Structure 1
Amino acid sequence: MQDNARAFFEQAIATPSPSGYEEPIQQLNRDYIAPHADRVRIDVHGNLIAESGDVHGPRLMLAGHCDQIGMLVSYIDELGFVYAQTIGGWDPQQLIGQAMSIWTQAGEVPAVISRKPIHLLNDHERKKVVSLDEMWLDVGAANDQQAAEKIRIGDPVTLDLRMRPLMNSLVSGPGMDNKTGMWTVIEALRRAKELAGTDGLACHLHSVSTVQEEIGLRGAKTAAGGINPSVGIAVDVTHASDCPTIEKNKQGDIRLGGGPVIFRGPNINPKVAARLMELAEANEIPYQRAAIGRATPNDANVLQLHGAGVATGLVAIPNRYMHSAVEAISIDDIDHVAQLLALFAAALKSDDDFTPGG
């Protein structure tokens, strides 16, 4: 992985992007990919779309959502404590005792989120699962007026956005879901253009950093409406099973560092999946297989159903501890995913037929 690509990933993890508040990370994406793309635009929904290749070739859409779960300021009490509702799917237990950031018009306001100490809990409170309304954000304000000088209702909130290196090329932090997938589709365009050389890509590649996936796959749906792709590949995280308490017979044998996870199932075009596996094997890219027997809970779902139908693939990045402050992924995995996507784009030609049985 090139140093500038690694730096781009680290900056992405440190950039806030709760669903509906993705402008800062889309600006980061634009700054990184603009020198390599033929065209970069942001649509009315907030999706960033970077294009390269033959505008008359088959339209390939690579979709990786940039939004992360977060919170939204909804009330400030008279003592200056801040209350917030969730954006996306939170386990409230993950929030107790966390360092947080409120992203205001004037910049970041540090906060902590907690509840009353265990010493003060009664027997019933100690046994029950804590609910969100029993927690609050403390910014250190003396009263509501002081808090309101910086914080407004509707300001987004995230966990403390830090990436920590672990052993064996693993890294941990919030927002790996799905800034990893976002990074791969943006980086894939740069690499695909390099692979194509002076001849250029035969396909018309659209690398899309989609928005609002965490609240209903909204960005991918509208982006596909504007692009009308022939082929689409969604990139998201999937649960790794190489840690305690995860049952492989239910989740599959998915390992960090094992390479891209290529899905098969009714939401997936069989020829797209087969092409991805063939390219991985031909180019010595390690990969893992996974199955899903229903509509996927990610951008692949809406891609497949767009218009008269899109030949859809799903490539996933193994992720431990999803939707927490300590999500863990392998840098090697995202590097391999970006390379596999670039190879797919470079190989796509006008006469490719992804019709099942065709």
Structure 2
Amino acid sequence: MQSFVYNALPGRVIFGTGTISTLKAEIERAGCKRALLLSTPEQAPALKDIAASIGPLAAGIFSQAAMHTPTDVTERALQAAKDCGADCTVAFGGGSSTGLGKAIALRTDLPQIAIPTTYAGSEMTPIIGETEGGKKITQRTLKVLPEIVIYDVDFTLTLPPRLTVTSGTNAIAHAVEALYAQDRNPVISMMAEQAIAAMGRALPAIVTNPQDREARAEALYGAWLCGVCLGSVGMALHHKLCHVVGGSFNLPHADTHTVILPYAMAYNAKAAPEADQAVARALGGRNGTQALVDLAKKLDSPNSLKSIGMAESDIDRAADLAVQNPYWNPRPIERGPIRDLIANAWAGNIKNYA
């Protein structure tokens, strides 16, 4: 067996159905008395219900979280935290809400409680990506890792099928990349394969019946594992491309991960054969790339950057940005092949590319 280093991340997880009922006790357990509740505008009504359920522990509400964590939104949230005297934050929603909680923690060290309603997985990572001036900058620090995460299956039942698919595929991408990351290890690789398999079973079942509680629970469990994988090892080509394309051109976060995933897998397949085999085992395919393509077809996922809003004229700029300060990757990052990857992903040419 290869030598490796495994760093376990701290954190408390409450998983199940109806677990939102523990929020008041968890805030108190953390030694906090004045929580600032965070969400996107779309989730504001649910956030108000949560605020009512914890009474005076809800010191304020900020429901303007936005995709890619823009720094101007963070500044407004910081002022809201100051105005209400918050001693912790409660982020309710997907990656946008969790990202805002992380951005506040980065600047204030306020404890965080995350209540995920999608399969983004960022609640389990010490990673934050922020956008300013059209660029997305990512950093890793334990300051942004939420101390408490409450997974409540009930909140995922209303997640629309399409968003379920892209959010779940985004989660799969975290686990896939953990299989070929520079600091991968047997513990995380085992977890990653199980996570991919769980999502691969759950997502088709949810598309067939969005109210399937068992499938929803398995998907949320898989997303949790995928998030742990991303948080425990480094990132590589897939996340670099998604940060560049999504952050620079303001494309939907989960959709971008969904489109890029098989192309990044194909790019790295020969350089990371064990990862390719693990993905194939988890999803029941002849190779990792084909298994991901087959799952995407089954789920009717978005399959091109063009279809999610990227202009063809942006391909060259995206390639230039992707080779600047590249993340470690098992295959060298070279502009020609990377431009080819992005161009094929823009057109949806996975059949010809892989």
TM-score (normalised: structure 1) = 0.28
> Whose RCO is larger (CA < 8 A, sep 6+)?
1
Higher alpha-carbon Rg: 1
Richer in helix (by share):
2
Bigger fraction of residues in strand: 1
Could you state the TM-score of these two structures normalised by the residue count of structure 2? 0.29
